[in-house]
Structure 1
Amino acid sequence: MHKPQHAVSFAVRLQQTENKTTIQANNTTDNTSQSISASNIVSETKRPTNSTKHAINVRLHLWKKFKSANEEVLNSGRSHHHDILMKKCSVLPNGWMIFTEPNLKLLLIHDDEGHFQNKIYLSGRPFDLAIISSKLIAVSYGENRYVEIIDLKTKDAVKSFNWETNCFGIAIISNHLYIVIEGRGIAVLEHTTGQMIKTIPIKINQKTFLVVTHDSIIYTNWIFNTVYCFDLEGNEKWQFKKNKLHRPIGLTVNKSGDVFVAGNVSGNIFYISSDGKRSKELVRDTDIIDLYLDNQTYRLLTYKSDGSAFKYFVES
């Protein structure tokens, strides 16, 4: 998909802010419903750094598994391992699912049962995406240094925001886009006008993904195997690091601000409480890249580098 002539383009210049303390952050196709096998369930509950008697009762039950793409897409993913880390998934308000395939510059759309419905060709290789509404999504293009707002019905980019440096992870809350701008901070802008709201001084010097809640920004650092949480002004709230969580990449949150994070190399999913003090390893599975929690149905979607997708019921 090429940028249409009628698309609104904005050149965004970051406002310089006073330096604060910063952190160098650097498979199968059948749809049979089933409970997750006992070999994949991890029953051990981690204790927080400050002792607590509260157990974590969160469990995952496998509901459905399917392929997100055809063999052309899957073979493309296998042959470009460097770009596998950029694959993303998300869920629209109607329950339909979106998957990115960077090597083919594609968005793949499936219904809530996992059946393929449509594809959208993009203007570049996507890094991250954020759901704005049932009709609009935002896509960041990493080292290509721009973000697009895409209309899912027309398949066109209706707005484009250009940056002076690389733009990676992207999230949206209360109509504000939060975008990781490499080496500069997290830019916050109004998605309909492109108006710059502020720059949060969390300097991140690597490719990373993030989620935003009403009071927190949480992102992964796969170089340091760490999950970081900051407030919306850029003050660190907590860090999370475990030997069993290696190369954390995708992450998602529930309504309480608790975090689910995928360990790509460790082959697992970790649950982290909203204060960062308690955690639990939920699932052991290989090569998980991304995950997204649908807070309407409380189903967790996971995505693997070979194009396999899994949906879990979340029990708590």
Structure 2
Amino acid sequence: MFSNVSLPAKENENTIEKTIKRNKTSSDNDYSLQCSPKKKHTETENKKTEKSEIEKTEKSENEKTEKSEIEKTEKSENEKTEKSEIEETENNGFERLKFDNHTTFDIKCSESKPWISSIDELPNGNVVLTDFCNCKLYVYNQSLEIYKAIDVSGKPCAIAVINSDKIAVTLQEKKSVALVNILTRKTFRYLNVEDSCHGITYTDDNLVLNCLEKGLTIISLDGAVQNTISDVTGEAYLCSSDNGNIYCAVYWSHKVLCFNRHGDEVYSFSNLTMKCIRGISVDHQGQVFTSEFGKNKIHVINSEGTKSHVILSKKHGINNPLCVHFNRNDMCLYVSNNDGESVSMYKLDSSSE
């Protein structure tokens, strides 16, 4: 009897304990099912974020390293090129000119920023500058002080000195040449050339123009055409020597051409490393200077038109040079620098003449 009464109680206790255990296990499993995916998801996201940050850091470091290597390579290549040019110059016997006493003066203008597109000198040693943006001519004395400013009726591209009183200026947009009297500061004649002209020079009592489509055109001071060199078209800049030779820098062709007073070609010099030749000038020995706008370099070509080398570069303060002019009175080189906003003067070292 007693056993029949106690057994159900024990079984009930066991049953209750089993039920509690099952419920506890079920509850733990449910909690695990509910929390584990979220926790795993968070851990996965953290790992992804950490990985992404690591990859970004590595990418940034790689880019910096690559940029540094590119800069080093470019610097090395430039140094090699410059060294090669120096060695080539020394090996071929081309005497290297040296310029020192670097002086820079800013162009004072109350209007827009200046854009000095051309430089020439008067017989008395004063320097004339063309300001393309402000439609002005500036005359500077030998102390680099502005002497006078002259207004012109268009944007002056290039200039040629005729004598101590008169100068000729190409007005590119107006397809004409203005003849200006410096003393009166007035334009006394316009020569209509019916073509966009850039460079200009004066030799043998005639003007030589670079006409975009017609080619090099030689005209008298009253506008009569004397001769045409139709082979040289496109944008080009000019200068001339005392013996009547005409020198032409063709902007996009890597070429400098030389013609005699009759229009016959004396030489054609080509250098593929010379790009965007924007200015040209010749010294008393027939050596030609050119300004290379895109690569911040001033080149000199020997009088035979067979060799060249870099005479001034960025380390000398050359920065986006527009034009160049050799002043024979003061034996110095003028460079329209910094996109034409200033003019730098380099004195020729007398020991290098």
Shift of 1:174: 2.2
- 2:86 is the alignment partner of 1:45: yes
Deviation at 1:172, TM superposition (A): 0.4
Identity %: 19
Alignment of 1:265-284 (within 5 A): 265-284=294-313
Say whether residues 1:230 and 2:259 are aligned partners.
yes
- Aligned pair partner of 1:311 in 316, 321, 345: 345
SS in structure 1 of the partner of residue 111 of structure 2? helix
Q: How far apart are 1:95 and its partner, in Å?
A: 1.7
Q: Which residue of 2 aligns with 1:167?
A: 197
8 Å CA contact 2:255, 2:268 repeated in 1: no
| Structure 2 residue 139 is matched with structure 1 residue 109 | yes
Partner residue of 1:143 out of 164, 169, 173: 173
- Higher gyration radius (CA): 2
Question: Contact between 2:155 and 2:173, CA under 8 Å: does it hold in 1?
Answer: no
Give the aligned residue type for 1:237: Y
Match of 2:270 in 1: 240
Aligned with 2:232 (options 203, 217, 229): 203
Contact 2:100 2:346 in 1 (8 A): yes
**Corresponding residue for residue 58 of structure 2:** none
Larger displacement relative to structure 2 (223-232 or 91-100): 223-232
> What do the CA deviations read for 1:189-229 (whole angstroms, capped 9, x no partner)?
222x333322233331x222111233533222222233233
Residues 104-160 of structure 1: CA distance to partner in whole angstroms, max 9, x if unpaired?
111122111111221111011111110111111000111311111100111111121
Q: What is the match of residue 253 of structure 1?
A: 282
More helix by share: 2
Query: C-alpha separation between the residues in 1 aligned to 2:194 and 2:170?
Result: 14
Q: Distance in 1 between matches of 2:87 and 2:319?
A: 21
Computed over aligned residues only, the root mean square deviation of the Cα atoms, in angstroms, reads 2.4
Aligned residue pairs total 262
Q: Which whole-Å CA distance do the structure 1 matches of 2:111 and 2:188 have between them?
A: 29
TM (norm. structure 2) is: 0.68
1:60 matches 2:99: yes
2:65: which partner in 1?
Answer: none
Instruction: Provide closer, same or farther for how the CA distance between residues 273 and 125 of structure 1 changes in structure 2, counting only shifts above 3 A.
Output: same
SS in 1 for 2:149: strand
Given that 2:111 and 2:134 are in contact with CA atoms closer than 8 Å, whether structure 1 keeps it comes out as no
Q: Which has the higher contact order (CA 8 A, sep 6+)?
A: 1
- The answer as to whether partners of 1:175 and 1:190 remain within 8 angstroms in 2 is yes
* Residues 1:128 and 2:175 are matched in the alignment: no
Amino acid at match of 1:302: V
Residue 4 of structure 1 corresponds to which residue in structure 2? none
- What's 1:217 paired with? 246
Judged with a 3 Å threshold, the aligned counterparts in structure 2 of structure 1 residues 236 and 185 are, in CA distance, closer, same or farther, namely farther
Aligned to 1:294: 327
Q: Helix, strand or coil for the counterpart of 1:303? A: strand
Aligned equivalents of 2:196, 2:211: Cα separation in 1: 6
Matched residue, 2:15: none
Residues 45, 56 of structure 1: 8 Å contact kept: no
Contact in 2 for aligned 1:167/1:180 (Cα 8 Å):
yes
* Secondary structure in 1 matching 2:142: coil
Could you tell me the TM-score, scaled by structure 1's length?
Answer: 0.76
Counterpart-to-counterpart distance in 1, 2:340 and 2:288: 24
Task: Show structure 2 runs of 5+ residues with no match.
Answer: 1-78
Give the superposition deviation at 1:289: 0.7
Q: What is the alpha-carbon distance in structure 2 between the residues aligned to residue 242 and residue 114 of structure 1?
A: 36
- Offset from partner CA, 1:89-109 (integer Å, 9 cap, x none): 122122212211112111122
* 226 and 199 in structure 1: CA distance in 2 versus 1, 3 angstrom threshold: closer
Q: Is the 8 A contact 2:94 2:302 kept in 1?
A: no
Larger proportion of strand: 1
Query: Structure 1 unaligned runs (5+)?
Result: 1-38, 78-83
> Following TM superposition, by how much is the alpha carbon of 1:252 offset from its aligned partner in structure 2, in angstroms?
0.1
SS in 1 for 2:174: coil
